[in-house]
A and B are shown apart, each in its own frame.
Chain A
Amino acid sequence: MKRSRTVFIAIVGIAIIIVGVALALRATGREKLLVVIPKGPIQVRILTALPVEPWVRQAAERFNQENHRLEGERIQVEIIATDGLTALGKYDRNEFGALDADTDPAQLSPEQQQALTRFPTAWIPDSRYLPELANTAYKERLGRDVFLTDGEYRARPVALSLSVWGIYQSRADVLDQTFGDINWQVVHDAATNKGGWPALGGDPDWGFFKLVVPDPRKNVGGLSAMIAAAGEYYDRPSISTADITNPAFQQWLGELLAATTDLSGASAYTAEDFALFGYSVGDGGLLLESDLLNNMQGIKNRWGEALSIRYPSYVTWFDFPMTIWIGPETSALQKNAALEFERYLLSADTQRQAISYGLRPVSAEISVTDSADSPFVQWADQGVAAIVPRTSAMRSPDRDVLQTLLRWFELNVAS
């Protein structure tokens, strides 16, 4: 009896200890559940500029389906649509959480490691000057570049496009008759005409001339449009801060931008807005050629007429460079996986597919008119040119010019 009692008490004691330990583990395990780092394929996260995002996203879907591998691990590419300036702002404010120069990644807490799994592996901005501006900010913080300009991981353009005039055909016909060639000064004169379209020779129902340019706070194209306008105003391809702060220029630009109808409601996808709301929000504007070509058929379907495309004398080229983050936030495997995807984007097949999105391939060997269903063929009658007419390319602005323009815009147009 005595022995069985002892055994009984011992079992109960052991059990209590087991339950206690289990409960303690359960309690600590709860917190750990919050920071489980997902296992699986090599994750490549790419911030992608809006004009190339549909093409890159489709390529990424195909790439993922094709099951590409690196060192035996499957590569999974994820596309995050982000306007170039918005991404630059995030890099500037270090919103992605880049580590300080003296931080050892191995010493990070599980929560910090979890946060790093969301760090972008690469960036496809609208233009190469954006990663250069990001480098400037990180040089101060880390003492080194985070996007390379040479070497294996350097920025490589993956597609091309440029800003062009897109004007509803009925309106373009009236402007042609009244002014001749369409340029910034003509648009300025049309925009500032107090009598609106009736005074310009157009239909009274059209109201005032309405200009469409992207909101530069949401879309790099807006900034490019203002820089191109400055180029034509000064008749040179390079613009300085002094040019921007010139009161006469500011007045001229202010009058021009006063003809935009609805910057408050404009999204980052200006050409899509232009198509969706038609001539009711804009008679014409300076937009990215690829965006306009993408929306041409839809514009014709919805509003009964297509756009007339004209090439300005000063153009801004967009080269959409894919640039890989250099830093301990992403692994070597992720960087190389991003490189694999970059090669995929630059392959002849994927480059040909870019044409159907209105983009121009980076390879000169691929013609935009090879295929009959190319938008460059389909809309040639509307003025789309396979070879861009002789124009001057605007030089990339420096950070001061960008900031001065943006600040002026915020205070004088968008406020």
Chain B
Amino acid sequence: MTKPSSGLSLRRVLIAVIAGIVLLCIACIGLLAVIGAYSNRSGPATEAPPVFDPQSATLTLAYSPEKAELIQELVNAFNQSKQRTSDRRTMSVQLLEMPPDQMVQAALNDEPGFQALSPDASLWLDLLDLQWAEEHRRDAEELAPRRIADSARYAVSPIVIAAWPEVAQSLAGTDQRIGWADLQARATSDPDFRWSHASTSYASGMLATLAEFYAGAGKTRGLTAADVTAQDTLDTVQALERSVSFYGDNEAVAMQLMSEKGRNFLDALVVQEALVVQHNLAGLDPLVAIYPREGTLWEDHPLALLDDPQVTDNQRRTFQALADFLRQPEQQALILARGFRPADLNIPIDGPDSPLTAANGVDAREPQTTLQMPGPSVVQVVQNVWVYTKRPSNVYLVVDTSGSMRGAKMENVRTALLSFIAQIQGAEDRLGMVEFSGYVTNIIPLQTITPEYRQTLRSEITALDARGDTALLDAVRAAYVRLQQENDSGRINAIVAMTDGLENASATSLRQLTNEIEQQNRTGVRVILFTIAYGEDADLDTLRTLAEASGGQLRTGDPETIRELYRLLSQYF
């Protein structure tokens, strides 16, 4: 009996051991899974510093939007080339779109969110270095520290005045050369002449503004801060800026509008030459590039690496590899095909494969001369002063507070609207608001934005509450009628209307409203509608019809992008 008993006992022990190990494995796996899940979930939410990978070969590149298509195409090709570092890491580049002035502000932070940048012009890099030195220089005897470690170029394009051929012809003087002065004379003498330039957040806007300040100061070089702030200069610039139709968020968007809407929309627009080429290559009604007689500037699209201890050796190698890649013949040929002038001087820009031809409205041997770019401190003064000289605006914000806006949607809109009113800085700009759900629930009439009124608007926006149906058309009409009643053609008159749903409660029909807009815009004050389709359920057709009737734009946004969208639209005024 002993033997069987001992055999049984051994088997039991064996079974117990096996069961124990199995249970143990299951328990360990379960435990590790729980801990792993907990670590993953809690990681980003905790205050722990971001893990710095000292071998990272992924470079984040901030770029300005006027070359979005080109840079995306080039970076995709670079990423597909799968180049490796000496320690076998795959090099890659991530893109981040950003206006140039914001790049400068971000790069002044210790953690800018990117390691490399490609703004539209080098003037921003100089501004960045200047501000960096001001913040980090310990004493005047010290050599100024710089924020830019290295830079390279891959594509350049001169800034030109894009105009319809007959407009260019009418601007030309007896010697057939056209200058800023001709444009400015025409803009101030002909009330029907419509022109536009980007805000001073972009190089083309900066150049157009500088040309105005030079004209105002009666100089062609050596512009000083005293010249810029002289009253005579300010009066001249103000008179010129009153003739600007609108300011775009960037030149590419303005060019797209000019291409889409044609001659009735704008007579002339300040843009880089490449956009004229792209427009003409698309087979649209042709434009010509005017190289101003007094001189122009270049958008030189520098590719720059930040001098930052957080930039890893591999990221620096990726930067170098990207710079080399962009200078390879294949990429340089692509750059030329897109209307930019390649940085490789061995590629002829007047050869048979070049689109830089008279047929495309441009001249590869131009420009003959450039306007003198003042130092960064004068540039800063121009940027600051321009806000007070630019054409003032009357803007109504039309805000949907219907029931579908409840929750995060409403919260994000509040933030976006607050950001919008913070951006409107003109001393004479006026802002109003129409709040609607099933009917127009609240109208705040236009008022100049004083600190007190800004505070009132903030309180109104913070108190926005979502409920009811959607009477978009009635709300837009309420704002439109008020702008027509103002009859203030000296200003930009605009409505920024946002909705997330379908129109279902207005007394006014879409046809009635568009007829009214089209007719009144011809005979009365021109009011431009910027409509925002917020989320997937917004009535795109209605919003597009409204925007097109006024010569405005439809933009789409979601809770993640709505703030940036309002910020961009604020640059139109």
Name A residues whose Cβ lies closer than 8 Å to a Cβ of B.
1, 3-5, 7-8, 11-12, 15, 19, 23, 34-36, 38, 40, 76, 78, 80-82, 85-86, 88-89, 92-93, 95, 114, 118, 203, 205-208, 210, 217-218, 258, 260-268, 272, 275-277, 279-281, 295, 297-299, 301-304, 403, 406-407, 410, 413-415
Residues of A within 8 A of B552 (CB): none
Q: Which of B12-20, B103-111, B534-542 contacts A (4 or more CB under 8 A)?
A: B12-20
Residues of A within 8 A of B13 (CB): 3-4, 7
Q: How far is the CB of B533 from chain A (nearest CB, A)?
A: 39
B346 at the interface (CB under 8 A from A): yes
Give Cα A265 to B302, complex, Å: 10
B87 at the interface (CB under 8 A from A): yes
Name B residues whose Cβ lies closer than 8 Å to a Cβ of A.
9, 12-13, 15-17, 19-21, 23-24, 27-28, 31-32, 35, 51-52, 54-55, 86-87, 121-123, 126-127, 129, 138, 140-146, 149-151, 153, 156, 158, 177, 220-222, 293-298, 300, 302, 313, 316, 341, 343-346, 348-349, 365-379
B156-A277 in contact (CB<8A): yes
Q: How far is the CB of A218 from chain B (nearest CB, A)?
A: 8
Residues of B within 8 A of A3 (CB): 9, 13
- Given A4-B13, A114-B54, A12:B24 Cβ within 8 A: yes
Closest to A403 in B: B141
B142-A93 in contact (CB<8A): yes
Closest to B53 in A: A34
- Given A85-B143, A258-B221, A276-B153, A207:B294 Cβ within 8 A: yes
Q: How far is the CB of A16 from chain B (nearest CB, A)?
A: 8
B122-A89 in contact (CB<8A): no
A297-B345 in contact (CB<8A): yes
- Given A89-B142, A89-B143, A258-B222, A301:B348 Cβ within 8 A: yes
Give Cα A23 to B35, complex, Å: 9
Q: Which residue of A210, A262, A267, A298 is within 8 Å of B153 (Cβ)?
A: A267
Please indicate which of the listed interface residues B143, B221, B296, B313 has the most CB atoms of chain A within 10 Å of its own CB. B143
Jot down 19 A-B pairs with beta carbons below 8 A, ordered by A: A4-B17, A8-B20, A11-B20, A12-B20, A15-B27, A15-B28, A19-B32, A35-B54, A81-B150, A92-B142, A118-B313, A210-B370, A217-B146, A262-B297, A264-B376, A265-B298, A276-B153, A277-B370, A304-B365
Residues of A within 8 A of B141 (CB): 403
Residues of B within 8 A of A208 (CB): 220-221, 369
Residues of A within 8 A of B9 (CB): 3-4
A206-B368 in contact (CB<8A): yes
- A-B pairs, top 5 by smallest CB distance, nearest first, are A298-B345, A207-B369, A89-B143, A4-B16, A265-B122
- Given A15-B27, A264-B122, A280-B370, A205:B177 Cβ within 8 A: yes
Residues of B within 8 A of A277 (CB): 156, 298, 300, 370
Closest to B150 in A: A81
B146-A276 in contact (CB<8A): no
A261-B373 in contact (CB<8A): yes
Give Cα A413 to B238, complex, Å: 28
Please indicate which of the listed interface residues B87, B122, B302 has the most CB atoms of chain A within 10 Å of its own CB. B122
Give Cα A281 to B31, complex, Å: 68
Give Cα A78 to B300, complex, Å: 28
Give Cα A101 to B297, complex, Å: 50
